[in-house]
Amino acid sequence: MHKIPVFFFFLVCTSTFLLIPAVSGAQEERVILYQTDFSTDPGWITNSPSYYYWDVGGENYHFETEGGTNGYSYVPVDYSSGPFTLEFDLNISFMKKESAVRFGMTGSEMDISQGTIVLADFDYNSYGKIMSLRVIDPNNHLYEKSSRYDSYCGDQPNCETKEFAENVTYNVVVRYNDQMNQADVKITEKDTGNLVWGYFVGLSNDLYSLNRLAITTKGDYSVGNPATGSIDNVVFSTFRPVTPTPTIIVPTSEPTTVLPTTSPTPNPTPTVAGGGVMLIVGALAVAMGIGAFFRRRKV
């Protein structure tokens, strides 16, 4: 006898749950915090203006990186926390072995060896011309994956090292997802759209103290390893919640007035409403029950 109420309790609970609409995440919109196509002077700040400068004719930003110089160029961005996406075009016209080009989000130190940084790294080393995603969190934990086969493939068969080439323009997209604690990179050829390489790293800590876009050699102590090229079409954006605006419905027409008719209206026949019928039937049943009770008493 006690199983039925329990069954119905769970049935009601389940039905109520199914009737509640699925609640999606808060609505968000993309907000561009910084953008330049270098058609005008971007005003980037550098400690080596002969190596890092705006190319007026080419409408891009020229760089010449070299380890041991502590050279850098950066632009501050109004970012404090949350997800972000950095997109830019990169063309490396010349690289000497042991050279590297690193561009991304950094803190005020702009040091490739300490946090906080999120960098796309193009490195010419003993394995070839390798692409990497390099992240160092505020606790100086390093998370890094490269296009070298044993870095991003592990033990998977038929996996190859992916390399970039000189004098090819690449579109680079670096993203940070604070909800999933993850950063990723995707590199495609600008002209063809073909995917060259992409991967992700899982993070243990949130990223903060990121406040500038920077191309930097600070922390690179290899000497005599120049790399030259250009950066173009930089877009840095984040996502912020949006509060939906309530919709107000305004009447589009005046209410219609119904005029009374001139023909006589017949008097309605009295009827008993459904609730009244049930009441009468219930009363008759009670009366019959009482009558039967008293009849049995007399007998």
Question: Which of 94, 118, 125, 131 minimizes the C-alpha distance to 222?
Answer: 125
Tell me what pLDDT residue 243 has.
74
Please count the other Cβ atoms lying within 10 Å of the Cβ belonging to residue 272: 10
pLDDT by residue, tens only, the chain of 299 residues: 443 333 333 333 333 323 333 333 568 899 999 999 999 999 999 999 999 999 999 999 999 999 999 999 999 999 999 999 999 999 999 999 999 999 999 999 999 999 999 999 999 999 999 999 999 999 999 999 999 999 999 888 889 999 999 999 999 999 999 999 999 999 999 999 999 999 999 999 999 999 999 999 999 998 889 999 999 999 999 998 887 766 676 666 555 555 555 545 444 444 444 444 444 445 445 445 545 444 444 44
For 182, the domain range is 28-241
Tell me, what CATH number does 153's domain have?
Answer: 2.60.120.200
Domain contains 263: no
Residue type, 81: S
* 262 within domain boundaries: no
In a domain, 19, yes or no: no
Rounded to two decimals, the pTM is: 0.74
Spatial contact of 208 and 80, defined as CB atoms under 8 Å apart: yes
H/E run at residue 236: strand 227-241
Predicted pLDDT of residue 208 = 93
Does residue 82 lie within any of the structural domains? yes
pLDDT, one tens digit per residue, over 146-195 is 999 999 998 888 899 999 999 999 999 999 999 999 999 999 999 999 99
Question: Does residue 51 sit within a domain?
Answer: yes
Residue 182, domain member (yes or no)? yes
Is the link from the previous residue into 269 a cis peptide, with omega within 30 of 0? no
Half-sphere exposure of 86 (CA within 13 A, CB side): 24
* Alpha-carbon dihedral sign for residues 173, 144, 95, 216: positive
| Number of structural domains the chain divides into | 1
Alpha-carbon span 286 to 279, nearest angstrom: 11
The reply to whether 290 falls in a domain is no
Question: Is 131 among the domain residues?
Answer: yes
